[in-house]
């Protein structure tokens, strides 16, 4: 993805959190890409970084006070809120998110957020307990419904407490990428197209604490969702449990089991295309124990009886409301092409993107699942197209272009 932001004006609102130090780096990253950056800092932010530093890095005046007579006369908070292409809030603290969700405007940052008619991207950063608190969960839902975009937070250790969990601000490069995605003015051949993507593993419960899953990281599926969104598609991602953030500009439904994934996908029909990247568990335990299975139970280790999960791809491939284009993935360790061709037919897909995950493929199952690179072949009725080894982002971009090409002939 190109990340040229030349000529773009970004208003960066720096909230009061320890992650504010990363926002100084973000200013540099955005300017490196050609953007002009102007900063607003909350009172709390100034406990962590100074307006002097933000001003030096942005090469612009830093705005801090709603009631600054000079600033109000020169620019004014309404103009400040609108004289930009995008507002980025980083770090977006629990407090700033709560204010924005509820339309409060008692300081410059919140007044700007209320007065703006520009897109807003927030990079939340807070303690994991604050992030998962019902109040923040409510505020996030409100902000999403209001059209505010989020990037992150990521999982990891918190700077101040050493606690691990979700709440760490996205890295400056991730935020810069999200900015580029939102401001992207490239061609939009998929505008008006609704596309469903599944991604990640599924988790099939054994008892309240145990489950069966696999090594899928969701990287390839999420990259495909992001690539389709960049081409203008209305992307509906259905994701199993993954450790990576939701892609920017994509509506995500989070599920755990194969059956939940199937229900979520069916509820999203009709769609123009559906791409099944998820590594769905083929089997689940036929019953989920209501209580944790104890080791000391009478007869030694329990025997798990497995039953087959619904095949989501096959269900949609043969559905009466089948999307125009149905794409499946196949991870094979042997007879890649024969198996992929058989799957194409059995599952009713137009394409199978076949991964060779055998150990001698160069990438290998451990390499593909969780790694950043992939080598695929596109199997269709027309034959086999072999793509060289490339990054998962490149595979995603090429696949998105292929989807756009295929849908071109079909009326929106």
Q: Which of 81, 224, 225, 330 binds ligand CTP (CB under 6 A)?
A: 330
Query: Considering only residues 80, 328, 336, 396, which one is a binding residue for ligand CTP as defined by CB under 6 A?
Result: 328
Instruction: Determine if 258 is a binding residue for ligand CTP (CB under 6 A).
Output: yes
Number of residues that bind ligand CTP (CB under 6 A): 15
Query: Which residues from 182-201 bind ligand CTP, rule CB under 6 A?
Result: 198
CB of 116 to ligand CTP, least distance (A): 40
Q: Which is nearer to ligand CTP, 96 or 225 (CB)?
A: 225
Site string for ligand CTP, 237-256 (x = CB under 6 A): --------------------
Binding residue for ligand CTP, selected from 48, 211, 329, 351, defined by CB under 6 A: 329
Catalytic residue among 4, 127, 214, 339: 214
Figure out which of the listed residues 11, 312, 365, 397 binds ligand CTP, where binding follows CB under 6 A. 312
Among 18-26, 82-90, 134-142, 278-286, which window interacts with ligand CTP (CB under 6 A)?
A: 278-286
Single out the residue of 39, 226, 250, 278 in contact with ligand CTP (rule: CB under 6 A). 278
CB atoms within 10 A of CB 391: 14
Whether residue 237 contacts residue 199, with contact meaning beta carbons closer than 8 Å, is answered with yes
Is 214 a residue of the active site?
A: yes
CB of 282 to ligand CTP, least distance (A): 5
User: Between residues 26 and 196, which has the closer beta carbon with respect to ligand CTP?
Assistant: 196
Nearer to ligand CTP, 41 or 331 (CB): 331
Which one of 179, 276, 395, 399 is in contact with ligand CTP (CB under 6 A)? Answer: 276
Q: How far is the CB of 333 from ligand CTP (least distance, A)?
A: 9
In sequence order, what are the residues at sequence separation of 6 or more whose Cβ sits closer than 8 angstroms to the Cβ of residue 364?
Answer: 357, 358
The reply on whether position 131 binds ligand CTP by CB under 6 A is: no
Please report whether residue 280 would count as binding ligand CTP according to CB under 6 A.
yes
- So which residues are the catalytic ones? 214
Residues in contact with ligand CTP by CB under 6 A are: 198, 258, 276, 278, 280, 282, 309, 311-313, 328-331, 343
């Amino acid at each position: 993805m190109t990340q040229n932001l030349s000529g773009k004006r970004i208003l960066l609102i720096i909230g009061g959190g320890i992650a504010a130090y990363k926002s100084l780096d973000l200013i540099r990253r955005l300017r490196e890409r050609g953007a002009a950056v102007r900063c607003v800092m909350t009172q709390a932010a100034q406990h962590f970084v100074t307006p002097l530093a933000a001003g030096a890095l942005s090469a612009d005046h830093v705005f801090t006070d709603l009631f600054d007579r000079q600033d109000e006369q020169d620019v004014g908070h309404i103009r400040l809120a609108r004289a930009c292409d995008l507002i980025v809030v980083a770090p977006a603290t629990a407090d700033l998110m709560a204010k924005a969700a509820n339309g409060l405007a008692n300081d410059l940052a919140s007044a700007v957020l209320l007065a703006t008619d520009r897109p807003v991207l927030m990079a939340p950063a807070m303690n994991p307990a604050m992030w998962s608190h019902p109040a923040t969960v409510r505020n996030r839902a409100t902000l999403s419904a209001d059209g505010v975009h989020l990037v992150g937070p990521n999982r990891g250790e918190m700077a101040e407490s050493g606690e691990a969990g979700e709440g760490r601000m996205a890295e400056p490069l991730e935020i810069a990428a999200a900015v580029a995605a939102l401001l992207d003015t490239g061609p939009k051949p998929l505008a008006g197209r609704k596309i469903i993507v599944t991604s990640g593993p599924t988790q099939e419960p054994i008892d309240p604490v145990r489950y069966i899953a696999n090594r899928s990281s969701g990287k390839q599926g999420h990259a495909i969702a992001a690539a389709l969104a960049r081409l203008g598609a209305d992307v509906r991602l259905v994701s199993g449990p993954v450790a990576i953030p939701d892609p920017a500009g994509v509506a995500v439904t989070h599920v755990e089991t194969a059956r939940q994934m199937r229900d979520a996908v069916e509820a999203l029909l009709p769609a123009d295309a559906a791409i099944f990247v998820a590594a769905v568990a083929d089997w689940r335990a036929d019953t989920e124990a209501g209580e944790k299975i104890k080791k000391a139970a009478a007869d030694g280790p329990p025997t798990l009886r497995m039953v087959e999960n619904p095949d989501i791809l096959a269900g949609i491939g043969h559905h009466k409301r089948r999307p125009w284009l149905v794409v499946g993935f196949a991870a094979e360790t042997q007879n890649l092409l024969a198996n992929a061709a058989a799957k194409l037919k059995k599952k009713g897909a137009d394409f199978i993107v076949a991964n060779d995950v055998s150990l001698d493929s160069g990438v290998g199952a451990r390499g593909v699942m969780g790694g950043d690179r992939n080598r695929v072949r596109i199997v269709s009725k027309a034959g086999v197209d072999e793509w060289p080894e490339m990054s998962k982002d490149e595979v995603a971009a090429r696949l998105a272009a292929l989807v756009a090409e295929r849908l071109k002939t079909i009326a929106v």
